[in-house]
Amino acid sequence: MKITVWFGVVLGALSAAGEVIIAKAGQAAILKCGNPTNDYERSLEWRHGNDKIYSAYKMLPAPRKGQGEIVERSRLSNTDLRIRGVKEQDAGKFTCQVDGKSHEHILLVVSVSLRSSADLRLDSEVWLECNVKGLNPGPAVRWTRPDGSVHTESQIAHLKPLARSDEGTWSCTFSHAGKTHSEIIEIKVKEPVRTTLAPVPSKNPKDVRVINPPLDTKPGLGLSWWMWVVIGVGCVVVLLLMVFVICLCKRIKRRKRILRKMKNGRQRPMPEQYCQCNRPTAAAKPQQGRRREKPSAPPLQPLLMG
């Protein structure tokens, strides 16, 4: 009889304690109220610590919202509470009260981050940080290397300098209520950037070196032999085109001249035609009398010689 009572007390304590939900920052989390039917007959209420998130009643058509930033990212699905975009301040105790029965849940928010001084290149400095929010004090955290060995028993793993053996999957591991949880992060090591310094010119003329040009170039314009061949072929083609155009123009002019001569030879000159009118001849004028003739001059007398 005592064993049965003790077993009932343990089950009651477990049902009141609820479960531990682990969510990564930025992801979604689903908190189940613990009711097997996933429904309520009279009332339902969700709280985050002492702040009310939702309260619903069967007699009311819609649930009532509480105050707080988490309310805008939460919604009810029957008796379950769904939170999107989990943040570190969401971690802690959640209480679900359905039809007078209370159930508590713990939300742990895990965030894993990486900071580097030189973009994960060899010989750079890297910090790996693992934070677990929701418990006070927080659980013990340790970092495990890609080969499975433990690197450190703290939240921050410091890698200096970053080596090729550090490349791979690192694991942040912590335990709570007898269960082990882990979050992973990937490290890809890049080769360091090699910078070549320009040679410093020497003041001593003996140290000056003559750099020979490449074999496929000539010291003139710096063009290779095949480029000169292309230029020569292009010039020949242009010259041939010019000669062809000139000959064609001359031929066209000659044909025009021949056609003009042939056209002029076919057209003969026409005789000039005058208009001949059949007019009657004019009648002779009547004589109006004889004209008075002037007397002729007397003959000249010879001069007397004295």
Integer Cα distance of 81 and 74 in angstroms: 7
Alpha helices in the chain (DSSP H): 2-17, 225-266
Would you kindly state where each structural domain of the chain is located, as residue ranges? 17-187
Rounded Cα distance between 210 and 155, Å, is: 60
**Cα(first)–Cα(last) distance of the chain, in Å?**
222
Residue 292 pairs with which residues in a beta bridge? none
Whether 17 has a pLDDT exceeding 60, the answer reads no
pLDDT, residue 3, reads 33
Can you tell me the distance from the alpha carbon of 7 to that of 300, in angstroms, rounded to the nearest whole number?
201
- C-alpha–C-alpha distance, residues 59 and 43, integer Å: 9
Q: Which of 1-5, 202-206, 296-300 has the lowest mean pLDDT?
A: 1-5
Return the CATH class of domain 17-187. mainly beta
What whole-number distance in Å separates Cα of residue 140 and Cα of residue 132? 9
Share of the chain above pLDDT 70, in %: 71
pLDDT in tens, 67-115: 888 999 999 888 889 999 999 899 999 999 988 888 898 899 998 999 8
Number of H helices, E strands in the chain: 2, 15
Residue found by looking up tokens 């890809």 in the block:
188
CA distances 66 to 60, 79, 148, 188, Å, are 16, 16, 46, 45
Rounded Cα distance, 76 and 82, in Å = 6
Question: pLDDT tens for residues 222-277?
Answer: 677 888 888 999 999 999 999 999 999 999 999 888 888 888 877 555 555 555 55
Measured between alpha carbons, how far is 283 from 154 in angstroms, rounded to an integer? 158
Q: Is the pLDDT of residue 12 over 80?
A: no
Grade residue 152 by pLDDT with cuts at 50, 70 and 90.
confident
Rg value, the chain, Cα: 60
pTM for this prediction: 0.53
* Structural contact between residues 183 and 171, judged by C-beta atoms closer than 8 angstroms: yes
Distances (CA, A) of 57 to 71, 153, 267: 18, 48, 119
Decide: 222 and 214 in contact? Cβ < 8 Å: no
